[in-house]
Structure 1
Amino acid sequence: MAQVPTITLNDGRSIPQFGIGVWQVSTDDIVPTVSKALEVGYRHIDTAQGYQNEEGVGEAIAASGIARDELWVTTKLANGKHERSDAVAELKTSLAKLRLDYVDLYLIHWPTPNSGDYVETWRGMQDCLEQGLAKSIGVSNFQPDHLDKIISETGTTPAVNQIEVHPTFANQAAVDGSLKHGVRVEAWSPLGLGSDLKSPEIGEIAARVGKTPAQVILRWHLQKGYIVFPKSVTPARIEENFQVFDFELTADDLAAIDALDEGNRTGPNPDTFG
């Protein structure tokens, strides 16, 4: 079984750099998907209240027999629940669905800057940390100014910022705005919803190294230092995605993929979403 590298977060905890994402995984697919991933060797699962599949994640974890301390489970606070008191209450609901006593990482899913006070939401995340309901806390889709504000007003720095990143959308401002605070970057939509797989440059690299375009892109993420969790419900693809630890891209390969950035955002803009 492949040895997944870990990254040390600013709170001292070690997170597996590679995992399985379950966005848009249906009720019918969630248990077999997570079960297959755990069988292959994944130990990091990224879900959210908004995905409406926490129960299935919990069922698969319970059935796996894998020790709790060998797993890293992330969930995210729903966008409509941004009062400070919501954070604890909603996490308790998530924990019941996940059949867990704590999550390893709890994130504010979106800052929704036009419809709520994300600083107060962040204070609620701190409450979850203090009560032991979450071992680490972080944010998702936070722009540099959002990050600067919560850190300056609360004195607590998120462990991670989960943002859209892929070869045709480097999202460099958000990456740099995170790293300057020691906040690690988690990349969602790592393949650009599949569009980046069609790149001729990536295809050429894949042919040369004997890997698929998806494996090359996932390897690019790993070598950039990002935490990444591709989603698939196809057993063969779940296995294929995990086979990215037996090769390395050269500096020229990384530069060629970096050069594909064209501002191709596939998801909502965090400045206006919500």
Structure 2
Amino acid sequence: MQDMPQLGIGTFRLEDNTAYKSVTDGLKAGFRHIDTAQIYGNEEYVGDAIKAFGIEREDFFLTTKVWFDHFGNDSFIESVHESLAKLKVDHVDLLLIHWPSPDDKVPMEQYLNSLAQAKKDGLTRHIGVSNFTIEQMEKAVEILGEGEIYTNQIELHPFMQNRKVAERAEELGMKVTAYMPFAVGKVMKSETLQSIGQKSDASPAQVTLAWMKAKGYYTIPSSTNPDHIQDNYEFEKVSLSADDIALIDDLDNGERIVDPDFGPEWD
């Protein structure tokens, strides 16, 4: 699959058989984009689910992410080979730097050049970053050149729309991939999203996904409930007016959920 599908299955915090079942249910629903990471500890289960489903390699888009423990020259490529072995594939479609190196302990030139090497070696078709600030995205483009970085995967949802980073990513030629699109369930409680959904008999989750698409964002919701997974996949039944989009835009209050102590200084 050449291009990343706009909607994918996220597997953050899904362990063991829970990850296996979520990926299986997602593939059954029609998802063809699966997102995992070394630090999730579930690459093996994701790989098992894909293999058991019996889908051809060219018919799905697979993303994993390198953890910063592996940014040293010796272990970066080795860790990617380990990921591929667990995922039971000979390449991923997208390989991301999961977080910038905390306190720049490893220079960005070093780990981004390792990322580029993984692409050159055929271990991935595309390369990208995650949780990068504006300054870090700009530096990454300086290091690797324009058009090399496929996406910046960032926290983005109606309550934290990360507009400056999203706009700069697009100006730099990167796709914006939104993780945590439902703000760990908070969208379900939003009266605004409920009210918009009622017009087309849609859930607040479906409204959120329709808004993401209208904005041109890619997104990777996760769920362990087969009905919710199916519901997510069918979000395109929702038709949003310009007024609806403006109402959702107004929900932004900068509420960040993922903010570890090793994270960068956010924009």
**TM-score, length-scaled by structure 1:** 0.92
**CA shift at 1:118, angstroms?**
2.4
Look up the equivalent residue of 1:80 and give its one-letter code: D
Question: Is the counterpart of residue 93 in structure 1 residue 82 in structure 2?
Answer: yes
Secondary structure of the 2:240 match is: coil
Which of 185, 192, 195 is the matching residue for 2:186? 195
Q: Which moved more, 1:108-117 or 1:67-76?
A: 108-117
**CA shift at 1:172, angstroms?**
0.9
Structure 1 CA distance for aligned equivalents of residues 134 and 127 of structure 2: 17
**CA shift at 1:59, angstroms?**
0.4
Where do 1:107-256 residues align within 5 Å? 107-114=96-103, 115-155=105-145, 157-256=148-247
Look up the equivalent residue of 2:151 and give its one-letter code: V
Counterpart residue number, 1:51: 40
Counterpart residue number, 2:252: 261
Structure 2 CA distance for aligned equivalents of residues 20 and 154 of structure 1: 28
**CA shift at 1:272, angstroms?**
4.9
Runs of 4+ residues deviating >3 angstroms: none
Look up the equivalent residue of 2:116 and give its one-letter code: Q
Counterpart residue number, 2:10: 21
Structure 2 CA distance for aligned equivalents of residues 272 and 253 of structure 1: 32
Structure 2 CA distance for aligned equivalents of residues 229 and 46 of structure 1: 7
Structure 2 CA distance for aligned equivalents of residues 29 and 196 of structure 1: 23
Look up the equivalent residue of 2:223 and give its one-letter code: S
Structure 2 CA distance for aligned equivalents of residues 208 and 163 of structure 1: 30
Question: Is the counterpart of residue 105 in structure 1 residue 98 in structure 2?
Answer: no
Secondary structure of the 1:187 match is: strand
Structure 2 CA distance for aligned equivalents of residues 145 and 233 of structure 1: 36
**CA shift at 1:235, angstroms?**
1.1
For the Cα contact (< 8 Å) 1:86–1:124, is it kept in 2? Answer: no
Task: Output one character per residue of 1:100-154: Cα deviation in whole Å (capped at 9) or x when no partner.
Answer: 0000000000013403322311111000000000000000000010011121133
Structure 1 CA distance for aligned equivalents of residues 102 and 137 of structure 2: 12
Structure 1 CA distance for aligned equivalents of residues 79 and 239 of structure 2: 41
Look up the equivalent residue of 1:122 and give its one-letter code: L
Structure 1 CA distance for aligned equivalents of residues 157 and 57 of structure 2: 31
Secondary structure of the 2:235 match is: coil
For the Cα contact (< 8 Å) 1:20–1:45, is it kept in 2? Answer: yes
Q: Which moved more, 1:192-201 or 1:112-121?
A: 112-121
For the Cα contact (< 8 Å) 2:9–2:35, is it kept in 1? Answer: yes
Structure 2 CA distance for aligned equivalents of residues 132 and 22 of structure 1: 24
Q: Alpha carbon RMSD of aligned pairs, Å?
A: 1.5
Question: Is the counterpart of residue 73 in structure 1 residue 53 in structure 2?
Answer: no
Secondary structure of the 1:73 match is: strand
Over the matched positions of the two proteins, sequence identity in percent amounts to 36
For the Cα contact (< 8 Å) 2:206–2:238, is it kept in 1? Answer: no
Gaps of 5+ in 1: 1-5, 7-12
For the Cα contact (< 8 Å) 1:82–1:118, is it kept in 2? Answer: no
Where do 1:32-43 residues align within 5 Å? 32-43=21-32
Secondary structure of the 2:135 match is: helix
**CA shift at 1:222, angstroms?**
1.2
**TM-score, length-scaled by structure 2:** 0.94
